[in-house]
Structure 1
Amino acid sequence: MPRLFIKKNTQILVNQSDRTPKSSSVDSQTVQADLQLVNTYSTIITSPRILNKVQQNIGGKYNIQELAEMIQVKNTANSQVIDISVQNPDPKVAAEITNATARMFKQEIPNIMKINNVTTLSEAQFTGTEAPVKPQKALMMILAFFIGVLFAFCFVFIKLLLDRTFTSKEEVEEFLGLHVLGEVSVFQDGDPFRIKMQKENE
């Protein structure tokens, strides 16, 4: 039976500085610079430096490679918000890893890029009523149905393609160039001559 995975996610906002603009309008150049650095932040989150801290924080339950496979980092286009998500069979562990990753990134990023303005917008919560995100049973059933139909059609097509028997006298005349002089019917209830001979012998 396939394992069920639960997904937990948290969101963080990263700015280059926490200074308040003097004017009421937002400094567009600063915002644009922040947007260009979002991909860099995403790479740093899944770097060994951060994952090593996460591994220690969760008690060494998983190694760095396993954590890297579980953690997914995404960001919305033209947004400074970074979404960190973790898939794990245990929803409590998924929430723990997600929050630990965001916390370790927030702790280490000032030393890496001299940025001290990381805000956690939402933390992963364990409710006990989580629904698995994979495998998706409905999708798997639909795919299995279509694959079964495809295999059935392929089997029938190949069987017809490899069939070399003649089904009518017209096919014999067409493919062999011979004239059919007569046909012998198939007796469904047995050979009548044999049955007649058996009765006479009795």
Structure 2
Amino acid sequence: MEIKQYMKLLKKRLWLILLCVAISMATTTYLSYENYQPLYQASTKLIVNKTEQDQQGSETMDLAAINVNIGLVETYKEIIMTPAILGVVVDRYPELNLTEDELGSRIAISNYNGTQVMTIQTTDNTYERAADIVNAVAQVVKTEIPRIMKVNNVELLNTADPNETPPPINQDINQKIAISFAVSLLFAVGITFLLEFLDDTLKTKKDIRNVMNLPTLTTIPTIRRKAMRAKKKTSQKQVGETKYAPVQQ
């Protein structure tokens, strides 16, 4: 098939393509907005910063101390996810209404490129609650790690402000609609070509010649009902307007 034939075929079944795309986009839009629940992410940062005192009593830090701190970060990440920290958070902040397992599944701890900085993150349906959760965990980490490790080397760099109003992190409805449009368009075009492939009726003189190897003697044009009704109305109007001359005797 040539490009003109493809375009003619698509134009012929344009109604089918538009119908599939419209139904798909309408369904995606409805389900996306009906089931949409905004998610907000809050985070706090802590730094593991152990220093040593020199002979004059001033605190110093060398490369070996930095490497030790980086190694301690991995240890602290594991400790934070244990009941030694999560249990204290649950007991100290009952207003969060979370169990140890729920709290552990909702927080994520990371450090960027092996640095001394730890980031505690969580997501929730409201930013205020997400901020309260990470701030509670950070405060417990700051007080309990020194007790567990017998060294005071954890400092808070920042806390989450519950009064902020950041945008949700899952605002992807427009992206879903765009994907729905693309997929439904490809599906509709595929259905159009499939229907044409399965259609074995003879439509043109060329089809008859190729299949039956016979010449076409005549063709009967298709007359649409709308055209027939219009022609009938025209004929009736013409008959009604005909005037007959009186017969003279």
Q: Which bracket does the TM-score occupy, shorter chain normalised?
A: 0.7 to 0.9
Where 2:219 maps in the other structure, the secondary structure is coil
Tell me, yes or no, if structure 1 residue 104 matches structure 2 residue 137.
no
Residues 1:103 and 1:25: Cα distance change in structure 2 (over 3 Å): closer
Calculate the TM-score normalised by the size of structure 2.
0.64
Partner Cα separation in structure 1 for residue 165 and residue 150 of structure 2: 37
Is the contact made by 2:51 and 2:60 (CA closer than 8 Å) also made in structure 1?
Answer: no
Tell whether the 8 Å contact from 1:6 to 1:94 is kept in structure 2 after alignment.
yes
Residues 180 and 62 of structure 1: is their aligned pair in 2 closer, same or farther, counting only changes over 3 Å?
A: farther
| Contact 1:6 1:130 survives alignment (8 Å) | no
- Aligned pairs for 1:122-133 (under 5 A) are 122-127=158-163, 129-133=164-168
Query: Counterparts in 2 of 1:28-43, with a 5 A limit?
Result: 28-43=63-78
On the 8 A contact 1:58/1:96 being kept in 2, the answer is no
Offset from partner CA, 1:77-121 (integer Å, 9 cap, x none): 142011112222233322221111012222222344343211111
Higher helix residue share:
2
User: 1:6-49, CA deviations, whole angstroms, 9 ceiling, x for partnerless residues?
Assistant: 2222111113x342356998421221232233233223223333
Structure 2, unmatched stretches of 5+, are: 1-33, 237-249
Residue of structure 2 equivalent to 1:119: 155
Q: Is 1:134 the counterpart of 2:173 in the alignment?
A: no
Corresponding residue for residue 118 of structure 2: 82
The answer as to 2:181 corresponding to 1:148 is yes
Q: Which amino acid aligns with 1:44?
A: I
2:43 paired residue number: 9
> Deviation at 1:152?
1.8
The alignment's TM-score, normalised by the length of structure 1, stands at 0.77
Q: 1:63 aligns with which of 99, 103, 128?
A: 99
Match of 2:195 in 1: 162
The letter of the residue matching 2:132 is: E
- The separation in 2 between residues aligned to 1:50 and 1:117, in whole angstroms, is 16
Cα deviations by residue, 1:136-177 (Å, 9 ceiling, x for unpaired)? 1xx321231232222122122123123322443434544x35
Unaligned runs of 5+ in 1: none
What whole-Å deviation, never above 9, does each CA across 1:118-138 have from its counterpart, x for those lacking one? 1111122222x41232321xx
- Provide the identity percentage: 25
